[in-house]
Amino acid sequence: MSPALSTALNEPMDKIARGCEILCMSGFKTPKNIKTFHQLLGKLPGPDADAFGAAEAREPQLTKPPGSLGRLEVIAHWLAAWQGQHPPEVENIAVRVFAGNHGVVAKGVSAYPPEVTAQMVANFEAGGAAVNQLCKAVGADLQVIAIDLDSPTADFTESPAMSEADFMAAVRRGMEAVPESADLLCVGEMGIGNTTSAAALAMGLYGGDAKDWTGPGTGVAGDAFSMKMDAVGDAVRQHAVHLADGLQALRHLGGRELAAMAGAIVAARMHRVPVLLDGYVVGAAAASLAAANPSALDHCMAAHVSAEPGHVRLLDLLGMPPLLDMNMRLGEASGAVLAVSLLKSAAACHSGMATFDEAGVSDKDAATH
């Protein structure tokens, strides 16, 4: 990677037959176990230097002062580099919401019962959720992938959330959900109890105390909030010996929807599809990939910072400044889809603006002194 490309991409955006491997359309094999998942993470494709170079060359020719569009310019270059094409496009937008249930809910960590997960999936499918309206507004394709809702993960305060087989099955579900033809992937989730999982995973990966990472989620308070913090701390202590490995941390402390989101993020990288990450739960799943390979999220941007207090801390540690801060904490990819308009605008300005020559406008270098 050229120094200019490395700098631009990291500042300020710094950043399935079951049981066997299958050759995907883009030429990568879906992993059959954690060992082969690690191997895949070790050979992720990098950004396209030619596409980035073309974007970088066009930018100073556009009819505006250099840098005057701020982060929109960085976004346009990032899109070109990770789509592997210039000019970049944001037309075919895939929104994938993964749903799963968590055994730790039995510890009283949520204000809602686990049945709400399936009820919300039905609401998504009927078009009645917030994310449905946001997708309509930007012309995005929404699919909801519910994973074994009748079989919650194990209570991770007592045992690993998932067996390796269950974990990898969920990873493959996520990988299969990503269309190669997409210009952009927005990743989101639905799962009662999954902010408890996110807090435990963040604490397991980055340390600190349960109070540093645990928030109200769906609105728990008082004794329920104390039980939630206790569950987070107990889980991290229970699985401490496994948490140096990001993928094992995700298996022990995550959920099926978190594993699927990790799979989707990696598949997007292999397909050259840039990714917008939603909130805290998505960020925690993504952090497990960064723990395994520090460059694993270079094709991702944090769409927003949620009101869940651990999210801002997590994004800071990941080196991912959010695009938006709207005090949202809904999940279901709502923040990611809301940020799509920024990416559309960045691509439109980069591709559609006239150059100084085309507009007959003198640039600053043509000024006489």
Question: So which residues are the catalytic ones?
Answer: 332
The CA–CA distances, whole Å, from 100 to 97, 170, 203, 234, 312 equal 10, 10, 21, 21, 24
What order of strands is seen across the sheet that includes strand 300-302? 141-146, 93-99, 184-190, 275-277, 300-302
Tokens representing 90 are 């944001």
- Taking residue 120's Cβ as centre, other Cβ atoms within 10 Å add up to 22
| Structural contact between residues 124 and 97, judged by C-beta atoms closer than 8 angstroms | yes
d(CA 131, CA 334): 5
Q: Are strands 93-99 and 29-30 parallel, antiparallel or unpaired?
A: unpaired
Can you tell me the distance from the alpha carbon of 327 to that of 255, in angstroms, rounded to the nearest whole number?
25
Distances (CA, A) of 122 to 106, 126, 135, 368: 23, 6, 17, 66
Nearest-5° Cα angle at 187, 351 to 42: 90
Integer Cα distance of 275 and 300 in angstroms: 5
